[in-house]
Amino acid sequence: MMYNGFNISDKSLLFNDSRNNSVKALILGIGGMGTNAVTSIFSKGISNIDFAIINVEENVNSNIPYGIKKVILRDMHDKPLSTEGKVEKGMTIAAMTQSAWRQIVDGYSLVIIVAGLGGGTGGGLGPYIASYLKKIRKSLVISIVTMPFSLEGKDKMGKAMKSLKNYRYSSNTTIVLENDTIFKMFRNQSFQKAMEIMNSGIIGSIVETIMDIVYEKSLHMNLDFETLKGMMKNGGESTIIYGEGERKNIENVISSMFNSRFSSFDPSNYRNAIINIISDENFTVDDLETVSRYIGDMFGDKIDVRISLKTVEGYREKIKITGLLIGHGNEESYMNGEKASDSAFIDEYFPFFF
Ligand SMILES: Nc1nc2c(ncn2[C@@H]2O[C@H](COP(=O)(O)OP(=O)(O)OP(=O)(O)O)[C@@H](O)[C@H]2O)c(=O)[nH]1
Ligand SMILES: [Mg+2]
């Protein structure tokens, strides 16, 4: 079956065991949400990536495990700093404390930033650090951000939009997840459990997918760090779709994946899709063909789809499919069709650099 250049019997579809060890990767949580997410992903365990957090308050970070590098920023008199929830204050703090945070973010070719938008740390310091990494260090910067719950109010949402504009401008791509989807998708779970699923389950799966590509741990076609860089070159918004279930019910898993909206936009409005399948060792070529066919039907031919497969022993007839949808190019994106490269007010803060 030919499908976007993807041929089931293609010889290029061999297990690729050449580890790409030249890519040094960091997952960096900024602010309260970023700290929560990175801490729970760390406890779940992902290999080949370093973990770090940057925050301003010290009280909330008392339980950070030793394996996570942490920087709690303080002022020049060693007093605690606060953003007072303001995006601008966060950017000013980022500019003033460069020498402290640069120590832990320098030297990585790939940095995955995780932050919640709506506050001053993740929303203010975050894009500043992203900008530094992308512009000055030439790292590939993938930001994963959450939009506030609607019930947090219009003010938070306004701040979040401001921060999103800066993130889009400063990152190679920004993966946007709406916290409201926690309520929609995990209605029957406790709030605590739902947040945990979002933090380590969903965000953890995105990080795992990216790392599988970068380290070529999966069976896939023409997909490596350079390809990923190419896909993310033009910035813009990205999102994910996600489904999980029994391998014998692949069709249901795929339809739940297409119903699993973490953003408000139609999956087929993105430029590229990377579909990462994780299943057990009994996953057949037939299964792979079924997945490709359903996914092809759902997307149509507007979108460049790449499929990668990882088989995990003991996954017990289960299948998990994560789709990373990259580069929203439609008028109806969060920024009403503004290009990611359109200037953002973060540039006003850059005279502070060096
Ligand atoms: N999914 C998820 N969202 C969170 C979590 N904690 C906070 N949020 C969201 O992230 C937004 C920003 O909150 P924080 O991360 O605490 O803010 P901050 O970046 O530390 O910024 P300031 O404290 O204002 O300096 C909130 O408005 C929530 O919508 C979390 O653990 N998981
Ligand atoms: Mg905070």
Task: Look at residue 180 and tell me if it is in a domain.
Answer: yes
Task: Look at residue 36 and tell me if it is in a domain.
Answer: yes
121 Cα–ligand 2 center, Å: 6
Among 33, 58, 61, 161, name the best residue to mutate to test ligand 1's pocket (greatest count of ligand atoms within 8 A of Cβ). Answer: 33
182 Cα–ligand 1 center, Å: 14
Burial 166-188 (b: 16+ CB within 10 A, else e): bbbbbbbbbbbbbbbbbeebbee
Residue numbers of the domain that contains 163: 25-210
36 Cα–ligand 1 center, Å: 9
Residue 213 has which token pair?
């590509």
Task: Look at residue 285 and tell me if it is in a domain.
Answer: no
* pLDDT at res. 328: 73
Q: What is the phi-psi region of residue 26: left when phi exceeds 0, alpha when psi lies from -120 to 50, beta otherwise?
A: beta
Is residue 179 in contact with ligand 1, taking CB distance under 6 Å? yes
Is residue 224 in contact with ligand 1, taking CB distance under 6 Å? no
- Is the distance from CB of 118 to CB of 88 less than 8 angstroms? no
Which residue matches tokens 């929560």? 36
Task: Look at residue 68 and tell me if it is in a domain.
Answer: yes
Is residue 119 in contact with ligand 1, taking CB distance under 6 Å? yes
DSSP 73: -
- Is the distance from CB of 333 to CB of 339 less than 8 angstroms? no
Among 40, 57, 63, 146, name the best residue to mutate to test ligand 1's pocket (greatest count of ligand atoms within 8 A of Cβ). Answer: 146
For 104, the 3-state DSSP assignment is helix
Reference 25, options 219, 209, 274; nearest CA is 209
* pLDDT at res. 222: 63
Cα gap 244→27, rounded to integer Å: 24
Is residue 29 in contact with ligand 1, taking CB distance under 6 Å? no
* pLDDT at res. 143: 96
* pLDDT at res. 69: 95
Residue nearest to atom 30 of ligand 1 (CA): 33
Count of structural domains within the chain: 1
- Is the distance from CB of 10 to CB of 221 less than 8 angstroms? yes
Task: Look at residue 333 and tell me if it is in a domain.
Answer: no
Task: Look at residue 156 and tell me if it is in a domain.
Answer: yes
pLDDT per position as a tens digit, 291-315: 888 888 888 777 888 888 888 888 8
* Stretch (H or E) spanning 156: helix 154-170
List the CATH number of the domain containing 146.
3.40.50.1440
Task: Look at residue 130 and tell me if it is in a domain.
Answer: yes
* pLDDT at res. 281: 86
Question: Looking at the DSSP assignment, which residues form a beta bridge with residue 328?
Answer: 270
pLDDT per position as a tens digit, 141-172: 999 999 999 999 999 999 999 999 899 889 99
Reference 221, options 147, 268, 158, 273; nearest CA is 273
Residue nearest to atom 8 of ligand 1 (CA): 33
State the Cα angle at 170 between 31 and 75, rounded to 5°.
40
Task: Look at residue 187 and tell me if it is in a domain.
Answer: yes
Query: Which positions of the chain have pLDDT values less than 50?
Result: 1-19, 331, 353-354
Residue 55 has which token pair?
């925050």
